[in-house]
Structure formats: C-alpha cells, structure tokens
Amino acid sequence: MSKNIKKAKCYEWLRDAVFYEIYPQSFQDLNGDGIGDIAGMTARLDYIKELGCNAVWVNPWYDSPFGDAGYDVRDYKKIAPRYGTNEDAKRFFAEAHGRGMRVLIDLVPGHTAVDHEWFKASMRADKNEYSDRYIWTDSIWEGGGEYATLRGISDRDGCAVVNFFSHQPALNYGYAHPDRPWKLPPDSPAALATREAVKDVMRFWLDLGADGFRVDMAASLIKEDDLGHPANIRLWQDLRAFLESEYPHCAMVSEWGVPKESIAGGFHMDFMLHFGPPAYTSLFRSEHPFFSKEGKGDITAFLDTYSADLASTEGKGLICIPSGNHDMPRLARGRDMRDLKICFAFLLTMPGAPFIYYGDEIGMRYLEGLTSVEGGYDRTGSRSPMQWEKRTGFGFTSSATPYIPFDKSTDAPTVEEQEKDENSLLNAVKALLAVRKAHKALLSFGEFEPLYAEKEKYPFVYERRAEGERIVVALNPAEREAEVPFLLEGEILWNVGEAPKGNKMAPCSAAVILK
Ligand code: NOJ
C-alpha cells in the first residue's frame, strides 16, 4: 500500500501511541477463580494510563478450549466465560475510550480450535457450507506436503492441514500455486468466503468498540506463497481497503516480522520479533546481545536490518519494537534493574509505537522450569500472574491456586513497592514515557539517525528529530567506560547511572539529551 500513513485517519492517534500488552488470564482476577478477567482489566486501566500508555493490546479473549492460551478460537464472537461476557468487553472499550485510550484485540484469522462449529461442520461427510472453510486433502492417505495435518477424526475422507499445534486446523484462504485438485486458488469462492467470514468477525468487534487488531501469523494465510509473500500481501491489501472504507480510524499491527512486506500489505505497524531477521535477537537475546553488561554485542547487527526496514517503510507504516511478549523469555532474564532501565531508554525513544509487555515495567522475571500451562510450554515462564502487591496472591487473586504459579522468590518485584521507590524501574519507565510524550522528536514518526554505531563497539548514540527539535539518546549498557568522537552536551531530560562527561559515558549508563 503506497498510501502515506500520515493521511490515514488513525495517524492522529498512532503518532503518540504507546501500547501495553495485557495477557488477560494473568493480569487481574477480580472474581477470585485464580484466573484474570475483563472486570480486572477494566479496574487496572488507570494504572496503565498513569504509567504513560494510551493504548492496549489484549491477547485472545474469545471462547476457547485453551489448548493454546486462546489462540485456538471456538467462537470468534463470544467472550470466554472465564473472562466475562460480551457486555464486559463493551464496557472495557468504553472505559478505555473514556480515558482517551485505544484498544487493539487479537485477531486469529489463520486457524480455529477443532471444536469450532465451522470445523465440526467441515468434518462431516456431506457437502455443506463449511466443507471448504478449512484445507482438506482429498484422501486420508494424502498428507499436506510441507504442512502437518490432522487425520482420522472425521467422517469425511481427507486430512486437514494444521497451522501451529495439531489441534489448530488452518482456515482456507487458498494456495498461491494450486498444483493438486484440493488446493484452491485465493480467488476461489471458498477462499473468498473465508475472507468474508473474517471481515464479518472484524466488523463485529469494531462495532462493539475495538480500535483495531493485532493480527496473529499474518504472513501465512495463503499457503505455499512465493518469497516475499506477494499473495499474502495482496490479501492484506484487500482487508486494509475494507478497513479504510468502513473503519478508517482503526489500526492493525501484524505478527509478521518483515515490515517491508507487512506494511506493503497495508498494515499500519509491524513488530520487530524474536524470529526472522536477527534484529531483535541481536539486541536482547543472541549469545552476546548488545544490551548486556558483558559488552560483547554488535549494534550494527541490529542496524543493518533496522535501517533498511526503516528506509523501505518510511511514511507508510511503523516498526514497533516490543519490550517482550507472551511468546519469548522476559526482558529481565539475565538483566538487573539498571540494565533494564537502559533497555527501556532505548525501547521508549525509538521510532514506531512502543509495546510494553505487562510486568516488564517492574522487571517481572522469566520463571524457569514451569510445567506447561495452556500450551505455553517454555513460554509459560513469561506468562505468570502480574505482581501488584507484596502479599499472598500478589493482589492478582484471592484464590489460593492461581492458574500459573507465582514468582516464589522473596524479592519478586511488585508495583506497590516500586511506586514508593523513586529509583525503581517502574518510576524510570514512567519518567521516560513522560519525556517521550512531551517531545515531538521522540514520537512515532520522528526522524532517526545513528550518530555513533560502530561494529562491536559501545556506546550506541542516535538522534531523533521533528520540527526543529533534536534529541540525542546515548546508551552504554556495557560495564566499562565508553567514548564517542563528539561531545554529549545539552539538557539532560532523563538518565541512569552517571551523566555523560564531555565525550565519555560511565559504565552501565544512558542519557536522553535535548540539543
Ligand atoms: C502466535 C501467538 O503469539 C502464539 O502465542 C500462538 O501460539 C501462535 N501464534 C499460534 O496462534
């Protein structure tokens, strides 16, 4: 989509949007059943707003057997009873809007749960409206090629292609190059009917008050696509055109990870993720990430990908760098509070809309060795209940048995303690977000230019610019002094560790400087 994003209606709110990701089951349990709920999320909107976020992304909250934490949808139009009702969702939207906040919900267009009504009908031997809603091979003896299948559970002959876990049958958007009779083209009536069904789901939630979607596995709807995903790009251009004509103020962010492609497909934003190009991992998760005391990282590994992505998407969409999410180890793994402040100095001063994963703002830890809950497997350790207060149940629940165990360490961070401590991570994040909000140069669309970014060297220094305002961000996560060939001077708006002196930065320090 070549349209300049600044002309899109949602630009007005995306220009200063800061998102907070809510994992509904782990955020706030108000009815005491050990699992979070929408009433709890609503009660915590003020907290999110005071933190400095003006938008949220809510992970799937639909009716589901929860074999993949809700990414296995049983009914797209019904809130899971454990979270509340559709009325609660409506109230949540209204309460958020009343506070000037926006809400993106998770759209899972790629697959459903096996017990979705569509799939049940699709399994029947008789030809019906849903026979081709999913991808079925012609015979139980023919597999799905590069895709795994679900077989032997239907009266109908054939195997059903699955997307992620084997209980998540893939919805049928067609094949880019159909070479078997059962592979339908993307413009076949059945594939187009799936597309219409997704639009219908989108309409349903947008009418109820949602401001858009985070889209799950967006690049993989049309199967066997060519390199660069041209067929999936065309599909999303169609869905963006639909949004533009009916809900122009709404926005979409993709789980795609290649902004050049997703933004061409009409997404307003794409995530920089822990899979795909090594940009995110080189910062936070490779063997020697840049953001680490050991100081063995290489910022150019990040910049090579990022700068190219930024150039190819400029004026068209945003690249969003998340603090983490429900699929990856917590940012705090292997980092102390000061390290985390330096990470946040970066995350909250880069272009694009930042996404803060619940609990990262207090440095919640990745819990090692937890037994899988709801298909979380090694992701379970990043999904433990929010730690609001230092008391039994952490102020998350009154139940003695939370659905995922709590952080049992005696120094588990809490909101309550960090609110009182002026040097806490929570207060550092709040201060950074206040600085971001007050300076146009730091908002989503401000320009970005690296000033010092040398292979395998520290620090990393960059400038953000907008309308004549210039802000320099200097980051030295390494536990040793570092210097640049120019002076780091100006008004310090925020810093951690010792402030820069001349051209030198102290070990483990960061500063945001107004020029
Ligand atoms: C990506 C989601 O973030 C993840 O949690 C889920 O398991 C898969 N997609 C499958 O929907």
Say how many domains are in the chain.
Answer: 3
Q: What is the DSSP letter of 25?
A: G
Instruction: Flag whether 266 is in a domain.
Output: yes
Phi and psi angles of residue 416, each rounded to the nearest 5 degrees, phi first: -55, -50
Instruction: Flag whether 374 is in a domain.
Output: yes
pLDDT in tens, 217-233: 999 999 999 999 999 99
Taking the centre of ligand 1 as the mean of its atom positions, its distance from the CA of residue 20, in whole angstroms, is: 18
Residue 140 has pLDDT above 80, yes or no: yes
Residue 236: CB within 6 Å of ligand 1?
A: no
Mutate which of 74, 327, 373, 383 to test ligand 1's pocket (most atoms within 8 Å of Cβ)? 327
Instruction: Report the Cα 427 to chain-centroid distance in Å.
Output: 23
Q: What is the pLDDT of residue 278?
A: 85
- 129 and 103 in one domain? no
C-alpha 75/C-alpha 81 separation (Å) is 11
CB 386 within 8 A of CB 357: no
Residue 441 — pLDDT band, cuts 50, 70, 90?
very high
Mean pLDDT of 255-272: 96
Question: Residue 253: beta bridge partners?
Answer: 214, 269
- 386 and 239 in one domain? yes
CATH code, 135 = 3.90.400.10
CB atoms within 10 A of CB 502: 11
C-alpha 316/C-alpha 332 separation (Å) is 32
Residue 445: CB within 6 Å of ligand 1?
A: no
CB atoms within 10 A of CB 180: 12
- 34 and 167 in one domain? no
Q: Which of 322, 321, 402 is nearest to 359 (CA)?
A: 322
Q: What is the pLDDT of residue 423?
A: 98
Considering just the CA atoms, what is the radius of gyration of the chain in Å? 23
The one-letter code for the residue type at 51 is L
Q: What is the pLDDT of residue 360?
A: 99
The one-letter code for the residue type at 181 is P
The residue range of the domain holding 123 is 111-172
Mean pLDDT of 129-148: 97
Whether a cis peptide bond, with omega within 30° of 0, leads into 459 is yes
Question: Residue 103: beta bridge partners?
Answer: 56
E strand or H helix at 92, and its extent?
helix 86-98
- 234 and 160 in one domain? no
- 388 and 332 in one domain? yes
DSSP H helices, 209-361, are 230-246, 259-264, 279-284, 299-313, 337-347
Q: Angle CA(337)–CA(343)–CA(349) in degrees, nearest 5?
A: 135
CB 470 within 8 A of CB 441: yes
Number of H helices, E strands in the chain: 13, 19
Instruction: Flag whether 184 is in a domain.
Output: no
Beta strand 251-254 with 149-150 is unpaired
E strand or H helix at 427, and its extent?
helix 425-438
pLDDT in tens, 175-221: 999 999 999 999 999 999 999 999 999 999 999 999 999 999 999 99
Taking the centre of ligand 1 as the mean of its atom positions, its distance from the CA of residue 254, in whole angstroms, is: 12
Q: Which of 421, 438, 455 is the last residue in one of the domains?
A: 438
Mean pLDDT of 414-429: 98
Percent residues over pLDDT 70 in the chain: 99
Residue 330 has pLDDT above 60, yes or no: yes
Residue 164: CB within 6 Å of ligand 1?
A: yes
Nearest residue by C-alpha to atom 3 in ligand 1: 327
Mutate which of 26, 71, 253, 325 to test ligand 1's pocket (most atoms within 8 Å of Cβ)? 71
Q: What is the pLDDT of residue 309?
A: 96
Q: What is the pLDDT of residue 1?
A: 42
Instruction: Flag whether 150 is in a domain.
Output: yes
Instruction: Flag whether 182 is in a domain.
Output: no
Instruction: Flag whether 187 is in a domain.
Output: no
C-alpha 478/C-alpha 294 separation (Å) is 6
Q: What is the value of pTM for the model shown?
A: 0.98
Give the list of residues 6+ apart from residue 25 with CB closer than 8 angstroms, or none.
35, 36, 69, 70, 82, 83, 374, 383, 403, 404
Taking the centre of ligand 1 as the mean of its atom positions, its distance from the CA of residue 195, in whole angstroms, is: 20
Percent residues over pLDDT 90 in the chain: 97
- 453 and 390 in one domain? no
Residue 2 has pLDDT above 60, yes or no: no
pLDDT in tens, 68-106: 999 999 999 999 999 999 999 999 999 999 999 999 999
Mean pLDDT of 424-440: 98
Work out the mean pLDDT of the chain and round it to a whole number.
97
Mean pLDDT of 260-277: 93
Mean pLDDT of 323-329: 98
Residue 270: CB within 6 Å of ligand 1?
A: no
Q: Which two tokens stand for residue 248?
A: 């122009």
- 389 and 305 in one domain? yes
C-alpha 489/C-alpha 128 separation (Å) is 70
pLDDT in tens, 16-33: 999 999 999 999 999 999
C-alpha 353/C-alpha 19 separation (Å) is 7
- 386 and 297 in one domain? yes
Give the list of residues 6+ apart from residue 7 with CB closer than 8 angstroms, or none.
none
Q: Which of 484, 473, 464 is nearest to 512 (CA)?
A: 473
Residue 66: CB within 6 Å of ligand 1?
A: no
Task: Transcribe 437-481 into DSSP letters.
Answer: HH-GGGSTT-EEEEEE--TT-S-EEEEEEETTEEEEEEEE-SSS-
Residue 71: CB within 6 Å of ligand 1?
A: yes
Q: What is the DSSP letter of 322?
A: B
- 52 and 122 in one domain? no
Of ligand 1's atoms, which has the minimum distance to the CA of residue 164? 10
Phi and psi angles of residue 456, each rounded to the nearest 5 degrees, phi first: 55, 25
Residue 68: CB within 6 Å of ligand 1?
A: yes
What are the percentages of helix, strand and coil residues in the chain, rounded to 5? 30, 20, 50
- 135 and 21 in one domain? no
CATH code, 471 = 2.60.40.1180
Q: Which residue has the tokens 């108000």?
A: 30
Instruction: Flag whether 61 is in a domain.
Output: yes
- 410 and 294 in one domain? yes
Residue 64 — pLDDT band, cuts 50, 70, 90?
very high
C-alpha 423/C-alpha 418 separation (Å) is 8
pLDDT in tens, 345-387: 999 999 999 999 999 999 999 999 999 999 999 999 999 999 9
pLDDT in tens, 457-482: 999 999 999 999 999 999 999 999 99
C-alpha 148/C-alpha 163 separation (Å) is 8
Instruction: Flag whether 159 is in a domain.
Output: yes
CB 151 within 8 A of CB 115: no
Residue 511 — pLDDT band, cuts 50, 70, 90?
very high
Taking the centre of ligand 1 as the mean of its atom positions, its distance from the CA of residue 367, in whole angstroms, is: 20
Mean pLDDT of 132-146: 97
Strands, E, within 13-142: which ranges?
A: 19-22, 55-58, 62-63, 75-79, 102-107
Taking the centre of ligand 1 as the mean of its atom positions, its distance from the CA of residue 60, in whole angstroms, is: 10
- 392 and 278 in one domain? yes
Residue 219: CB within 6 Å of ligand 1?
A: no
Residue 60 has pLDDT above 90, yes or no: yes
Q: What is the pLDDT of residue 3?
A: 54
Of ligand 1's atoms, which has the minimum distance to the CA of residue 165? 10
Q: Which two tokens stand for residue 8?
A: 């899109």
pLDDT in tens, 380-408: 999 999 999 999 999 999 999 999 999 99
Give the list of residues 6+ apart from residue 432 with CB closer than 8 angstroms, or none.
52, 344, 345, 348, 349, 494, 512
Of ligand 1's atoms, which has the minimum distance to the CA of residue 111? 11
427 burial type by CB count under 10 A (0-12 exposed, 13-18 middle, 19+ buried): middle
